[in-house]
Chains A and B, each alone.
Chain A
Amino acid sequence: MRIDRVSGVALAVLAAVVIEETWRLRLPLGTLANPGPGYVPVLLAVGLLVAGVLVTTLSRSSATLAGAGWAEWRHSVAILAVCAFVALALERLGYRLTMGLACVALLGAVERKPLVVTLLVAVGLAAGTYFLFDTLLRVQLPRGPLGF
């Protein structure tokens, strides 16, 4: 399957979803003389639909989906999972603890670096960036229940 065919269909589906959501959320289209909040989103969705159709029809020379090279996907998923953990934990556990744990996960579990090095880098990064931004530059960063 060619990547342009897949992406063209995805664009068209996205455009259809936007139109459907505009209708479902009851965003008024208004009139031409007084366009409503749904007018421009629908206009853009129609443009996206046309682009999707064009990308699909002009897809003959594009590479195949498998040929796009997805070899790093395990790494990528692991990094995204760590980012999601940070988003969930940041305001619950506090900046230093969350970032420290995230670095331990990335260096220890994903990159399989030695434990001592992992801990040193994790503590250094979490505490160092906190000191730089929160203490020196006065950017307020969240503290957890333990004061971290």
Chain B
Amino acid sequence: MLETLGNLGLGFSVALSPEILLYAFAGCLVGTLVGVLPGVGPLAGISLLLPATFGLDATRAIVMLAGIYYGAMYGGSTTAILMRIPGEAASVMTCIDGYAMARKGRGGAALGIAAVGSYVAGTVSVVGLMLLAPPLATFALRFGPPEYVALLLLGLLVLAYMSSGSMVKSLAMAALGLLLGMVGIDQMSGYFRFAYGFVELGDGLGVVPVAVGLFGVAEILATAGKRTPPDVIKPRLRELLPSRQEWRESAAPIGRGTVLGFLIGILPGSAHIISSFVSYAVERRLSKRPGEFGHGAVAGVAGPESANNAATSGAFVPMLALGVPSGPIPAVMLAAMMVHGVSPGPMLIHQQPALFWGFIASMYVGNLVLLILNLPLVGLFVNILRVPYPYLYPAILVFSILGVYAVNGSVMDVWIMVVMGLLGWVLRKLDFETAPIVLGVVLAPMIELSLRQSLAMSDGRYAIFLQRPIAAVLLASGLLLVLLNVYSSVRRGRDWRARLTLTEKGEEAP
């Protein structure tokens, strides 16, 4: 514990330097600005703002990217409360009661509760991250190739299980992502695979063009032709402070949302979306007046907002400790770190302690910056939402192209983005989730290398995965998820995932 505190002291000495503070501030501001734009969530936001960090050293760049991540997460709740449009998927639950509060003239209070809940959850969950990541990293040093194969497979299975649609379709998308990740030079033999003479494809498909195409461009393609979003409800600054009664009603949901969000965040999958759904369901179940939910219940804003922010920090645990992203957003963060020469994993904490603990400390600072920044600037964010979409989307498209091009200075990446945009748009129409594709692209090199090394170790026997206890437990957990999914399909009942789908589509409250 003393060692942890000492390390945290080192982190704060890094994070509280004026320059690092400035980058944390800039990241939070820009992230929030991007997060309020409909359809541009944290995933596309980080991808398209990555070039802005190229001139910086690794610590500054990562602090700024983390700020963009939190900012984008928070920005999503502003549109959810004031327009009933979730800036990103995790804010879906906030739409229900946040917008209802706004219509009652309590939009400012809803924003205030969301900001404070996010701050508390973000700060508390960073403590969890700080305590959990180092021992997990030490444990991960016992992992060999078979354990990594099992862990990565489990990650994909959990993501597919947690997805709101069909598990088979999600697994098909994961397989597609893994196949896309096979493009380029084979690490073990040097063979050029599926590159068709394009030298630029030698390093494979970059995660940034794939993510921006599937999420940013596909969203523009799906939305641009539709009618302009509804009017924005603009709260006054003095309305931002919740009443004493509202504070009382939000305290316990913030606490529960924080714990739930962090625990769910550690699991692979779209944790921040699921955590907000679970938190909403828990709050409604525990409420003495469940009838208020859907009509402006304070707990319906406080719980989910806290949960999705806590999940954000939780998702960093496997990424920093194991080097394994638990979902598409950590996957893009991982890729962004690699661009800056940082390889997250068990050795990061020992080899680059200033960077690791500086990052942890900057998360505390970033949460405080968000709280200070967002409430006074809510008027500015609201005005951005008033820009008509026909003017807004060309700007988003320009930033998308710029972001994708600048990573490698390659037009090939722009083409990949265009193709992925088309693919993402078609896949949405066909009711497929695209997040597993992004995760598949990132995990493909790791999973292939580990699988081939495992087979080489065992002289071609797949039994190695069952003979090693950690790998066997991980695979058994994956099998359990498949069986659970088959069971719920056979029962043909609507489980929580089906209800989440309906809620996301706005067809039914949970």
Contacts and interface: CB of A to CB of B under 8 A. Distances in A.
Interface of A: 3-4, 6-7, 11, 14, 18, 21, 25, 27-28, 31-41, 44-45, 47-48, 51-52, 54-55, 58, 62-63, 68-76, 79-80, 82-84, 86-87, 90-91, 95, 99, 102-103, 106-107, 110-111, 113, 121, 125-126, 129, 133, 137-141
Nearest to A46: B175
Interface in B397-418: 397-399, 401-402, 405-406, 409, 411, 414-415, 417-418
Interface string B466-503: 00000000000000000000000000000000000000
A50 to B, nearest CB: 9
B169 interface: yes
Contacts of A72: 221-226
B221 to A, nearest CB: 4
A114 B402 CA distance: 26
Contact of B431 (A3, A11, A74): A3
A58 B168 contact: yes
Given A86-B414, A137-B54, A44 B179 contact: yes
Contacts of B138: none
Contacts of B459: 33
A3 B429 contact: yes
A25 B225 CA distance: 41
A130 B452 CA distance: 45
B399 to A, nearest CB: 7
Residue of A51, A70, A111 with most partner-chain B CB within 10 A: A51
A44 B431 contact: no
Contact of B191 (A37, A75, A84): A37
Given A21-B194, A82-B397, 14 more contacts: A6-B430, A35-B456, A37-B193, A48-B172, A58-B168, A72-B222, A76-B221, A79-B221, A80-B221, A80-B422, A83-B401, A90-B411, A103-B398, A139-B52
B172 A11 contact: yes
Nearest to B172: A51
A44 B156 CA distance: 13
Interface residues of B, number: 62
A45 B326 CA distance: 24
B235 interface: no
B376 interface: no
A133 B52 contact: yes
Q: For the complex, would chain B's binding face be called helix, strand, loop or mixed by DSSP majority?
A: helix
A92 B40 CA distance: 29
A125 B460 contact: no
Contacts of A107: 390-391, 394
B2 interface: no
A137 B55 contact: yes
A47 B436 CA distance: 15
A137 B421 contact: no
B395 interface: yes
B460 A55 contact: no
A31 to B, nearest CB: 6
A69 B430 CA distance: 10
A33 B52 CA distance: 45
Contacts, number: 181
A1 B422 CA distance: 21
B156 to A, nearest CB: 11
A68 B193 contact: no
Interface in B166-196: 166, 168-169, 171-172, 175-176, 178-179, 182, 186, 188-189, 191, 193-194
Given A32-B455, A133-B51, A62 B186 contact: no
Contact of B418 (A41, A83, A110, A133): A83
B445 to A, nearest CB: 10
B168 A55 contact: yes
B221 A137 contact: no
Contacts of A44: 175, 178-179, 182
Nearest to B414: A87
Nearest to A53: B168
Nearest to B178: A44
Given A83-B421, A86-B401, A125-B394, A71 B225 contact: yes
B133 interface: no
Contacts of A40: 178, 182, 447-448, 451-452
Contact of A27 (B52, B171, B193, B429): B193
Contacts of B415: 87
A84 B390 contact: no
Nearest to B410: A91
25 contacts: A7-B169, A27-B191, A33-B455, A35-B452, A37-B186, A44-B178, A47-B171, A47-B175, A48-B176, A48-B179, A54-B168, A55-B166, A75-B221, A79-B221, A91-B411, A95-B402, A99-B398, A102-B397, A103-B398, A106-B394, A110-B224, A133-B406, A137-B54, A138-B54, A141-B402
A84 B217 CA distance: 12
10 closest residue pairs by CB, A with B: A32-B460, A72-B225, A75-B225, A33-B460, A51-B172, A37-B186, A37-B191, A111-B390, A76-B221, A87-B414
A71 B179 CA distance: 31
Residue of B222, B411, B421 with most partner-chain A CB within 10 A: B411
B429 A70 contact: yes
B247 interface: no
